[in-house]
Amino acid sequence: MSTTLQRAVSSFYNLIYEAQTFATNMARIDTAEQEHYAGRIEGLNWVLDRCQELEDMDTNLPPSSLQRTLGEVKSDLEHELSVQRREKGRRADGREEALNFVADYLSSLITATEIESAKAAV
């Protein structure tokens, strides 16, 4: 995997981690929106757990393996989003919002991985 792609993967993971930290701090400050932030925290924690292996990615990992891993994460994320949309429970709005936030960045990262895979195949 190229160093640029490796940095993108690290940035993606760090973005999720920082968003979770931000939501945790905001929940402490904005008590009126505490449940909403709790939903965000829950959603971001779910993603962090699912993406834990991204934090320790080997720099020698071929882009095709990374692409497969990201595809699995995206599939799980889409499933979780569909569950959230059906449930619309007590904290679903914040959780769904967090998952949508991550889904956008994950799609971009998958596209970058596809580009790197195509370069490696040539």
CB 91 within 8 A of CB 36: yes
Helices H / strands E in the chain, number of each: 5, 0
Residue 90 has pLDDT above 60, yes or no: no
* Domain extent for 46: 3-121
- The predicted model gives 40-50 an average pLDDT of 86
pTM (global) more than 0.85: no
The domain tally of the chain equals 1
Q: Which of 33-42, 79-88, 100-109 has the lowest mean pLDDT?
A: 79-88
